[in-house]
Amino acid sequence: MFTIRQQQIKDFDLQLQGKYLEHLKAELSEDYPDFATVDSDGSEKLLRNLIRRATGYGLSSSTSVTAFVYLALDLGPHFDTRFPAVAAILNSEGRTETEKILELDSLHETISSLLTDPQ
């Protein structure tokens, strides 16, 4: 029988985080052409900050964290504090992360239409 040491688990976790970050950067570069023009250090710093904030709200799945990042790029990097309704959803202890993301997605559509409405 073999034993996995705690340091090995940490190293593996860091490798996974690095792969997720690279995948996310590639995906965002396709969906947001302006994102591809940001230098690698700047984009990585932004993404690490957004990921840290997402996990601070209890979002832990890659799907939920990715949705948080997309919302930040669509609505602004501080969307989670800029819009009180967003903050209320994210800080709600009674919602699962899936419920939070579904509510945020719905709210995103409303906010986007308000921000782009010419009236």
- Give pLDDT tens digits for 28-52: 989 988 877 878 788 888 998 999 9
Cα atoms in the Cβ-side hemisphere of radius 13 Å centred on 29: 13
- Domain of 13, in residue numbers: 7-116
Average pLDDT, the chain: 83
Query: Residue 1 falls within a domain, yes or no?
Result: no
Count of structural domains within the chain:
1
Which uninterrupted H or E stretch holds 107? Answer: helix 97-116
Do 103 and 92 form a contact (C-beta atoms < 8 A)? no
Query: Residue 101 falls within a domain, yes or no?
Result: yes
Residues in the chain: 119
